[in-house]
Amino acid sequence: MKLQVKPSSVSGALTAPPSKSCTHRAIILAALAKGTSKINGALLSRDTRATMQAMEAFGATVKEENGVLTIRGGRLKAPMTAIDCMNSGTTLRLCCGVASLLDKNVTFTGDESLKGRPMKPLFSAFAEMGVYCAATPQGFIIRGPNNGRWAHIKGDVSSQFISSLLISSALKPRDTDIVLTSPLISKPYIAITQTMMAQFGVKCSEMKDGYRVMGGQSYRPRDYTVPGDYSSAAFALGAAALAGKVTISGLDPQDVQGDRAIISFLQEFGAEVTINSNEVTVQQSELKGIKADIGDCPDLFPILAVIATQAEGETVLYNAAHLKHKESDRIAAVVTFLKNMGAEIEEKDDGCLIKGKCKLTGCTINPSGDHRILMAAAVAALVAEGKTIINDGDCYDVSYPAFLKDFKDIGADVEEVE
């Protein structure tokens, strides 16, 4: 299936989709808690369903009804068959932490993209704590038990590694010190993990060079409501900055999500931004180039690059070399599709440089199955001359199943084509 997008303006109001990051964590923490939890407003997407199925394989019971997940957990067991994480790096990395607690082999698999994602830093940290880890052509094997006192790990590859260690360490019989051997990227995602661990009854503390987790703790069941997702809302807000006016509700202005930075970046670009309680309204305006450190919010890179093409002057997006190890090499993928549309854009090791304002022309775009590339390309197509065809036209379902409907609801001229 493909998407066809034609130039169009946008207007209207949307409710932010639920946070993918928080949904993943809520499912895992509820499954580790002894008792029954209810997760309200969970994001039900390809990635989060992979996590649901993984935790069921570990012994949890997950029931879905009217948008509410009822999860009964606390009975960890080794899965009988391989866990298929599909394309979800979050599922793989966080669930490797769960597997490290067990004394039997746990096998993880997924699509070819997932099997190529970096895992060595996490596996090295587990090995230091006595966990067997192996990469095979079919996937990955983990066998605990994890009884180590210290783990040393690089902080500049993926914050998911640290989240995996934090979540699992609380259930170990002894304390764990997680020592960072390089600067930490995407720190807000660690803040999400810490905040949610506390909400499920477990504490960890930050040290000068890492984190300490007290052993012998247990997760407690609770009712939890998933907040709105700034990462997904950024696409509609970006579309408004280029081609209209859109209001999105359900965005907590105090949320620890790193992608909340989309608001300040839009303001810096010169977009007209109004915040009223949990609503954010963005209106098209004359834009100017910016310099943006996206080390803590790398998922914003594709949409920020698109916005930058329509901003006068130079925009530099930097400090996100780890984008090369996402669902695709996101730096190369964004530079390629925008260059094909006519943008003056230069790839850098940690981001890109864009000279605007650029005249974009519709073309055929291959997002390589990467949901954020597809959604960014759809926004770019709104201000491109002629029609744009986007292959892998349903991969937005990984994180934002309602994307196509929402995009149409605010007036985008988009349709599915053969």
Q: Does the residue 220 lie in any domain?
A: no
Q: What is the pLDDT of residue 225?
A: 97
**pLDDT tens by residue, 253-280:** 999 999 999 999 999 999 999 999 999 9
Tell whether 264 and 406 lie within a shared domain: yes
Q: Does the residue 218 lie in any domain?
A: no
Which of these three, 212, 242, 273, is where a domain ends? 212
Which of these three, 212, 247, 282, is where a domain ends? 212
Q: What is the pLDDT of residue 283?
A: 98
Tell whether 8 and 72 lie within a shared domain: no
Mean pLDDT of the chain: 96
Q: What is the pLDDT of residue 67?
A: 83
Q: Does position 360 have pLDDT exceeding 80, yes or no? A: yes
Tell whether 345 and 264 lie within a shared domain: yes
Q: Does position 328 have pLDDT exceeding 80, yes or no? A: no
Tell whether 232 and 338 lie within a shared domain: yes
Question: How many domains, the chain?
Answer: 2
Q: Does the residue 223 lie in any domain?
A: no
Q: Does position 326 have pLDDT exceeding 80, yes or no? A: no
Q: Does the residue 264 lie in any domain?
A: yes
**pLDDT tens by residue, 134-147:** 999 989 999 999 99
**pLDDT tens by residue, 146-174:** 999 999 999 999 999 999 999 999 999 99
Q: What is the pLDDT of residue 324?
A: 79
Tell whether 270 and 318 lie within a shared domain: yes
**pLDDT tens by residue, 368-384:** 899 999 999 999 999 99
Q: Does the residue 58 lie in any domain?
A: yes
Tell whether 196 and 300 lie within a shared domain: no
Q: What is the pLDDT of residue 323?
A: 85
Q: Provide the residue type at 286 as one letter.
A: E
Q: What is the pLDDT of residue 66?
A: 87
Read off the pLDDT of each residue in 221-240 and give the average, rounded to a whole number.
98
Tell whether 125 and 240 lie within a shared domain: no
**pLDDT tens by residue, 112-129:** 989 988 999 999 999 999
pTM of the model: 0.95
Write a three-state SS string for the chain: CEEEEECCCEEEEEECCECHHHHHHHHHHHHHCEEEEEEECCCCCHHHHHHHHHHHHCCCEEEEECCEEEEEECCCCCCCCCEECCCCHHHHHHHHHHHCCCCCCEEEECCHHHHCCCCHHHHHHHHHCCCEEEEECCEEEEECCCCCCEEEECCCCCHHHHHHHHHHHCCCCCCEEEEECCCCCCHHHHHHHHHHHHHCCCCEEEECCEEEECCCCCCCCCEEECCECHHHHHHHHHHHHHHEEEEEECCCCCCCCHHHHHHHHHHHHCCEEEEECCEEEEECCCCECCEEECCCCHHHHHHHHHHHHCCEEEEEEECCHHHHHCCCCHHHHHHHHHHHCCCEEEEECCEEEEEECCCCECCEECCCCCHHHHHHHHHHHHCCECCEEECCCCHHHHCCCCHHHHHHHCCCEEEEEC
What is the domain-level CATH number for residue 89? Answer: 3.65.10.10
Which of these three, 212, 247, 269, is where a domain ends? 212
Tell whether 248 and 191 lie within a shared domain: no
Domain span including residue 150: 20-212
Read off the pLDDT of each residue in 42-66 and give the average, rounded to a whole number.
97
Q: Does the residue 222 lie in any domain?
A: no
Q: Does position 282 have pLDDT exceeding 80, yes or no? A: yes
Tell whether 207 and 250 lie within a shared domain: no
Q: Does position 327 have pLDDT exceeding 80, yes or no? A: no
Q: What is the pLDDT of residue 231?
A: 97
| Confidence band, pLDDT 50/70/90 cuts, at residue 106 | very high
User: Catalytic positions, please?
Assistant: 299
Tell whether 27 and 12 lie within a shared domain: no
Q: Does the residue 384 lie in any domain?
A: yes
Q: Does the residue 221 lie in any domain?
A: no
Tell whether 315 and 347 lie within a shared domain: yes
Tell whether 307 and 387 lie within a shared domain: yes
